[in-house]
Amino acid sequence: MGMVGFTVALMVIGVIISPCVHGNEFSDHKEIEVERLLKRLNKHALISIKSEDGDIIDCVPIHNQPAFDHPLLRNHTIQMRPSFIPESTSTYTKKKIKATQAWHKNGRCPKNTVPIRRIKKEDILRSKSIESFGRKTNPSIPEDNTYDPSRGHEYAVMNSMQGTYFGTKCTVNMWKPEVQVPDEFSLAQTWLVSGVGTTRNTIEAGLQVFPRIYGDNNLRLFVYWTADGYQSTGCYNNACPGFVQRSNRLTVGVAFTTVSQYDGDQYELSILIWKSPDGDIIDCVWIYDQPAFDHPLFKNHTIQRRPRSNSIRDKTGGNKTYIIHQLWRTKGECPENTIPIRRTTRDDLIRSGSIKNYGRKSPPPTIYHTEGAQTEEVHEHTCVYVDYGQFHGSKSRISIWKPNVLRTREFSLAQTWVVNGDWDTGLNTLESGWQILHALYGDKNPRLFAYWTGDTYRETGCYNLDCPGFVQVSRHISLGAALNTFSTYNGEQYDFLLTIEKDQETGLWWLKFETYLIGYWPSFIVPKLAASARKIAWGGEIVYYTSGRGTHTLTQMGSGHFAEKGFRKAAYFNSLEYIDTSNYPITPSPQNLEATVTRPECYNLQVGSSQRWGTYFFYGGPGRNPHCP
């Protein structure tokens, strides 16, 4: 969930406002600190609107809102609309009675501003301390019909647990319950929760009456978030940087004028929180304008639409009842003679640290020279391989998972390597699979990727289409785009067939995803692969950084569970085949595979064979654990 990880839309809004307060007045020596906090929270307004309930609503320029005080939101581009809005399957018809906020009677905020409830000195003085202002001071979450009565929280809730959820929608009946004393509250809300203890992340939204925060007993819309179990992150509304508002009509922390009456008119409010698929923009680029043609050796190159040599028919490894697509395909497709390219954003470039390094791995990232390497960047692998041969390609089915990746620069992947050359004189590789790499993509979705290098990752090569090299021909698949599904522990399992195969007539190395020919690498960018590959490898890899830590990372590989857990619980590769110089696929026996497992106490693998799966292996692990401190 990243700063609680969701790209959030809350009905027509998105904000975080108002404070969480409770307690006694500050002493006089706190006056300066109070004034400093007010100056930080209350941004310059183009206009201000006085509400009949005593609130002042400041219309703040949208890029000056408090969210942008957060260091991770510097240079952030506001998303004015989500890439999609979930369709409801409910048959419930909401009453057409418009819920209005009190400040609407006295004005509206202009375009490109957002309405924010002004924080007053009295709001802060009602809190226990400046540090606790805007935060929950005695947090609690309903769990499994149990709660801690000593915390004074009581619930009447329904929940859905132990699943993979991307949002919540509900319609809340609007009431104004009596709250006896200022420190008490009454609310109706929805929670989105992940993690436990101090790793708990929540997004919360609903209606509340809370005199300690707002100074009255009005019914108000609120939001809350935390990324560490309510310890030091998160707040109500916009009492801290976090949630980004885009609406100029509704705001959080503000009272409604419409509330239900006993045995009278009933009012409702719909709340929808959901995770946008990935936020990518896919450009449909004319096929001859793709980045590959910036390479000087591609001048006058004629694109090959299909391999010329007859390849052996793909083996599917069983009848599939599902189709793997990418999230962008839910919104459309590219026309003939164009290819889909994920648009590189300013944020992507800024995350890379330098323009020169954008889209490139930093040495030593391969299956070589990892054990015992004393370096800040640590690569760990669980892979199997065939070596010292002459190979024309690789085939395998790779299960898709969404492992937890702890830090922005760390990654977790599952891929195949096609390799020739050596580390010192110039390693040439072609690589493809799925990966989670926040530093490159800005999220933690599993994404299809490709990579190549012609000089041991020094000056040549890149991910996907981030430099000239790979020539794409498919209009259906976009390298670097998120996959539409992934496996779940003890649930549905999803995998895809990945093929890298050399065309004997042209020398082009083709990449194939399921039945889609994505494109090819010409041999002249990887000259040591012009004749054949020496090594084919399959497996998982993670990267973490040792700087500032004395323990192993919690970044997971595969499903995050060890290989011995088996099907539905551990990640796998099956239907392993290498392609010989006659372009014939051969299944290696488990006995003929060599293995590299850098730290089996952190991540491991188990190899096997069966009639249905051919040669296969399970792999992965949780990272840090009692045996991997």
Q: What is the 3-state secondary structure (H, E, C) of 217-253?
A: CCCEEEEEEECCCCCCCCEECCCCCCCCCCCCCCCCC
Look-up of token digits 């990449």: 511
The enclosing H or E element of 438 equals helix 438-441
Distances (CA, A) of 588 to 330, 432, 497, 579, 606: 38, 20, 17, 10, 15
For residues 394 and 379, give the distance between their C-alpha atoms in angstroms, rounded to a whole number. 23
Cα separation, 371 vs 357, in Å, equals 25
- What is the secondary structure of 589-606 as a DSSP string? PGGG-EEEES-TTTSEEE
For residue 511, what are the CA distances in angstroms to 437, 470, 519? 21, 10, 6
Selected catalytic residue, list 380, 501, 541, 577: 541
Is the distance from CB of 188 to CB of 206 less than 8 angstroms? Answer: yes
- Residue 597 structure tokens: 């497992």
541: annotated active-site residue: yes
**Token pair of 272, please?**
């929808």
Residue type, 221: L
Provide long-range contacts, Cβ within 8 A and 24+ apart, for 215-218.
Answer: 215/54, 215/120, 215/122, 215/123, 215/126, 216/53, 216/54, 216/255, 217/176, 217/178, 217/179, 218/53, 218/102, 218/176, 218/255, 218/256
Residue type at 299 in one-letter notation: K
Other C-beta atoms closer than 10 Å to the C-beta of 354 total: 8
Phi then psi for 157, rounded to 5 degrees? -135, 160
By CB neighbour count within 10 A (0-12 exposed, 13-18 middle, 19+ buried), where does 170 fall? middle
Report CA-CA distances (Å) from 570 to 163, 201, 432, 488, 594: 17, 25, 20, 10, 20
Burial class (CB in 10 A: 0-12, 13-18, 19+), 315: middle
**Catalytic choice (204, 380, 410, 431):** 431
**CA Rg value for the chain:** 28
DSSP annotation of 32 reads H
Tokens of 437: 């790499």
Which is nearest to 560 in space by CA: 507, 515, 593, 604?
604
Sign of CA dihedral 508, 513, 517, 518: negative
Please list the active-site residues. 431, 541
